[in-house]
Structure 1
Amino acid sequence: MSEDGGKTLDGLARIPSVERLMSSAPFESLIAVHGRIQTIATLRRVLDQCREAAQSTPTSLAQTSYEFFAAQTSALLDADARLRLRPVFNLTGTVLHTNLGRALLPDSAVQAVVDALSRPVNLEFDLDTGARGDRDDLVVPVLRELTGAQAATVVNNNAAAVLLMLAALAPGKEVVVSRGELVEIGGAFRIPDIMSRAGARLREVGTTNRTHLRDYAEAIGPRTALLMKVHASNYAIEGFTHEVELGALARFGREHSLPVAVDLGSGSLVDLAHYGLPKEATVRQTLEAGADLVAFSADKLLGGPQAGLIVGRKDLIAKIKKHPLKRALRVGKLTLAALEPVLQLYRAPEFLRERLTTLRLLTRPTTEMQAAAERLLPVFERAIGPTYTVRVEPMLSQIGSGALPVDLLPSAGLVARRADGKAGERVLLRLEDALRALPRPVIGRIADHALRLDLRCLETADEAVFAAQLASLRL
Structure 2
Amino acid sequence: MTDPRRNLPGVDVLLASEAFRPVLADYPRGRVVAAVRDALVLARGEIGALGEAAVPADDAEWARRVGDLLSVRDLPSLRGVINATGVILHTNLGRAPLSQAARAAMVGAGRGYSNLEFDLDKGERGSRYVHCVDLLKELTGAQDALVVNNNAAAVVLALNSMAAGREVLVSRGELVEIGGGFRIPDMLSRSGAVLKEVGTTNRTRLEDYREAAEGGSVGAILKVHRSNFRISGFTEEVKISDLAALADELGLFLFYDLGSGLLADPGKLGLPPEPRAHESLLAGVHAVAISGDKLLGGPQAGIILGDGEVVGAMRKNPLCRAFRVDKVTLAGLEATLRHYLDEDEALREIPALRMLSAPLDDLAVRAQRLCQELVEGVAKARVAEGSGVVGGGTCPGVDLPTWTVRLRPIDASPRALAKELRSLPRPVVVRVEDEEVVIDMRTVEPDEDAFLLAALNQASEACG
| Gap change, CA 1:313 and 1:51, over 3 Å in 2 | closer
Distance 1:382 1:62, change over 3 A: closer
Residue 411 of structure 1, CA deviation? 1.0
1:423 paired residue number: none
Equivalent residue for 1:106, pick from 91, 99, 103 = 99
Change (3 A) 1:418 1:324: same
1:206 aligns with 2:192: no
Match for residue 85 of structure 2? 92
* Structure 2 CA distance for partners of 1:60 and 1:162, relative to 1, 3 Å: closer
**Aligned partners of 1:162 and 1:192: how far apart in 2?**
12
Aligned residue in 1 for 2:333: 339
Structure 2 vs 1, CA of residues 59 and 441 (structure 1 numbering), >3 Å: closer, same or farther? closer
TM-score normalized by structure 2? 0.91
- Check whether the contact 1:176–1:205 (CA below 8 A) recurs between aligned residues: yes
The 5 A counterparts of 1:18-417 are 18=12, 22=15, 26-47=19-40, 63-65=57-59, 67-220=60-213, 221-380=215-374, 382=376, 384-385=378-379, 389-417=380-408
Q: Distance in 1 between matches of 2:181 and 2:371?
A: 40
Secondary structure at the aligned position of 1:195 is classed as helix
Deviation larger for 139-148 or 287-296:
139-148
Q: Is the 8 A contact 2:11 2:37 kept in 1?
A: no
Q: CA RMSD in A?
A: 2.6
- Contact conserved, 2:378 with 2:410, CA < 8 A, in 1? no
Check the 8 A contact 2:375/2:457 in 1, yes or no. Answer: no
CA deviation string 1:7-42 (max 9, x = no partner): 877x46xx4662x65466644443443323222322
1:365 maps to amino acid? P
Shift of 1:209: 1.2
Taking the aligned partners of 2:153 and 2:211, their CA distance within structure 1 comes to 30
Q: Which runs of 5+ in 2 are unaligned?
A: none
Instruction: Give the 3-state SS of the residue equivalent to 1:238 in structure 2.
Output: coil
Q: Taking every aligned residue pair, what percent have the same amino acid on both sides?
A: 42
Alpha carbons of 1:49 and 1:185: their partners in 2 closer, same or farther (altered >3 Å)? closer
Q: Give CA deviations for 1:390-427 in whole Å, capped at 9, x if unaligned.
A: 3211112211112111222221111235889xxxxx93
Report deviation, 1:218.
0.3
Q: Distance in 1 between matches of 2:10 and 2:251?
A: 82
Change (3 A) 1:471 1:410: closer
Give the Å deviation of 1:48: 5.6
The Cα of 1:251 is off from its aligned counterpart by: 0.8
AA of the residue aligned to 1:249? L
- Could you list the per-position Cα deviations for residues 190-224 of structure 1 after superposition, in whole angstroms to 9, with x for gaps in the alignment? 11111111111111111111111110110114511
8 A Cα contact 1:294 1:312, kept in partner = yes
Structure 1's unaligned 5+ residue stretches are 421-425
Shift of 1:324: 2.0
Q: Distance in 2 between matches of 1:265 and 1:217?
A: 25
Match of 1:438 in 2: 424
The corresponding residue for 2:444 is 458
In structure 1, what is the Cα distance between the partners aligned to 2:341 and 2:426?
A: 35
- When structure 1 is superposed on structure 2, of 30-39 and 171-180 the one drifting more is 30-39
Residue 405 of structure 2 aligns to which amino acid in structure 1?
Answer: L
What secondary structure does 2:67 align onto? helix
Distance 2:134 2:302 in 1: 16
2 CA distance for matches of 1:329 and 1:401? 21
8 A contact 2:297–2:336 mirrored in 1: yes
Match of 2:402, SS? Answer: strand
Aligned residue pairs, count = 459
Q: For the residues of structure 1 that align with 2:439 and 2:169, how far apart are their CA atoms?
A: 44
Distance 2:173 2:377 in 1: 49
Amino acid in the other structure paired with 1:228: L
Range with bigger deviation, 403-412 or 223-232: 403-412
Deviation at 1:150, TM superposition (A): 1.2
Task: Give SS of 1:456's match.
Answer: helix
